Amino acid sequence: MGFELLDVCFETISRLRPVVRTVERSDRDLARQIRRAASSVALNIGEAREREQRDRVHLIRIAHSSASEVRVALQVALAWGFLDLETVAPIDALLDRVGAMCWRLSGR
């Protein structure tokens, strides 16, 4: 498993950093959830690189689910008015890429 997926995860986290700070001013719990879920994506992919077959697929699926969690959390922040669409759209595109890469790696 190559490094490209991890690179996209780290880019996503970097883009999320100011967004999390913005959300944190209005909803600390939601900001913490975004932070945890985004970290979970990268951590599970990192661990999956060292695993084999079923263990690897399981961790990749967890990473995919965590990426989905980040996307929904951003939509929640958008719905509450903490963020605007211009801020969320580029991050959503990165999360879409993460999800697609996870999907392919999990063999679905």
Q: For residue range 6-43, what is the model confidence (pLDDT) as tens digits? A: 999 999 999 999 999 999 999 999 999 999 999 999 99
> If you average pLDDT over every residue of the chain, what do you get?
94
Residue 65: left (phi > 0), alpha (psi -120 to 50), or beta?
alpha
The model's pTM: 0.92
57 pLDDT more than 70: yes
| pLDDT reported for residue 7 | 95
| pLDDT reported for residue 2 | 54
70 pLDDT more than 80: yes
The domains of the chain, with CATH numbers, are 4-105 (1.20.1440.60)
Coil/strand/helix, residue 106: coil
**77 near 61, Cβ under 8 Å?**
no
Q: Note the Cα 77 to chain centre separation in Å.
A: 15
- For 46, 64, 70, the CA distances from 89, given in Å and listed in that order, are 26, 18, 13
| pLDDT reported for residue 53 | 82
Question: What secondary structure does DSSP assign to 66-91, as a single string?
Answer: HHHHHHHHHHHHHHHTSS-HHHHHHH
13: CB partners within 8 A, 6+ apart? 38, 39, 42
Per DSSP, helices labelled H in the chain are 4-26, 28-48, 53-80, 85-105
1 pLDDT more than 70: no
